[in-house]
Amino acid sequence: MASTPRGILRHGCSSVLVFGFLLAGLSAMAQEKPDAAETTAIAQPTGTGSASPREIGGPQKALRISGRIVDQTGVAIAGAKIKLSSKGQSASPEVQSDGDGRYAFANATPGPFQLTITLEGFATQEVAGNLSPAENCAVPQTVLLVASVNTEVRVLPPQIEVAQEQIREQEQQRALGFIPNFYVSYVPNAAPLVPRQKFELAWKTIVDPMTFGLTAATAGIQQAQNDFSGYGQGTQGYAKRYAASYGNVVTSTLIGAAILPSVFKQDPRYFYKGAGSKRSRVLYAIAASVICKGDNGHWQANYSGIIGGLASGGISNLYYPAKNRDGAELTFENTLIGIGTSAAANILQEFVVRRFTPSAANRDPGKSSKGPNPVAKVLGAFVHEGD
């Protein structure tokens, strides 16, 4: 056998070694990489029990429920409370609408839900909807309606309430703290009295303790002077004089200050003037004994006072002693005396009595009254406010 040269052997060995290493590397790579069939089986599993990548561990999408609340005019309502109720959710979250009336619930649970919207002064509103698992829910704009309020309507004219409050103050008026001064109004534009209130003032005067006391004093003076001598003396005579005097008070007050003023719609009170010159106030006081203010606010002849005086005098003839009755002449005479007495009392009211009536309303009639004095119109040129 012919021998092979050493150089060629060396070169052949080297080629074998290189070829062996290449085979070893390819064999290792084949063991690490699966074949195509295996790769396909892993990437695309089959069967009903397989899960999607999202269910295996993919990120969940946060869902929102949002909306806006307005009133009937379309103006946004802020501060409304919105409560979310949904199936399978134990807690009911609650939010408030912002300044633009908007609200939102983050991380809401998909499925049916209900919103309950409340706000004081508005009717409660409920809105139902369904939240899809794939997208947020925008609730249509919600309109809140004003809640209906049931109020009790009092069928009572306001001026009656005003008049009642004013006569309540008048019934507290007492000169020197104990003498009744109920029939004087220190409010020049006082509300007119209804018949019930006129009778209330009359009754208040008739049953006042001072009325009984003054009547007792009057009867005592009459007995001391032996007036109405037909009554005699002693206890019996005094009792008759007392009854007659009290009867005069009752009849004159009821007829002249309650019954006839209700019939003629006139105000039995004296309205304190308190402003202007002394002369104008004196003339006002004198005139007020024959004129009065009607329930309509206009000044007119005082039919109630004049006719009431005549009626009271006529009735007194029924219980005065026969020898002291002078018929119609005495009745008219007493009526004129009554008018004069009323004028004198009005003058005292203007200049004296109010100073001694601490409970009188603290008002300035001259400043509170508007326009010229109505009595000045009646008296014409005799009364000048600037004198």
pLDDT for the residue numbered 254: 94
pLDDT for the residue numbered 188: 83
Contact 91, 83 (CB under 8 A): no
Q: Left (φ > 0), alpha (ψ -120 to 50) or beta: where does 79 sit?
A: left
Among the residues of the chain, which ranges form H helices? 6-32, 36-43, 53-57, 158-170, 195-206, 209-224, 234-254, 260-264, 278-287, 303-316, 327-351, 365-368, 374-379
pLDDT for the residue numbered 268: 94
pLDDT for the residue numbered 148: 73
Contact 293, 240 (CB under 8 A): no
pLDDT for the residue numbered 368: 40
The residues spanned by each domain of the chain are 65-143, 158-382
Shortest CA distance to 67 belongs to which of 145, 144, 122, 121? 144
pLDDT mean across residues, the chain: 78
Topology of domain 65-143, per CATH? Answer: Immunoglobulin-like (2.60.40)
pLDDT for the residue numbered 122: 92
pLDDT tens, residue by residue, 47-85: 444 444 344 444 557 889 999 999 988 899 999 999 999
Distance separating alpha carbons of residues 225 and 227, to the nearest angstrom: 5
Spans of the chain, pLDDT less than 50: 1-58, 364-387
Distance separating alpha carbons of residues 103 and 82, to the nearest angstrom: 8
Distance separating alpha carbons of residues 164 and 191, to the nearest angstrom: 9
| This prediction's pTM | 0.53
pLDDT tens, residue by residue, 1-60: 444 333 333 344 344 333 343 334 444 444 444 443 333 333 333 344 444 434 444 455
Distance separating alpha carbons of residues 78 and 201, to the nearest angstrom: 56
pLDDT for the residue numbered 361: 52
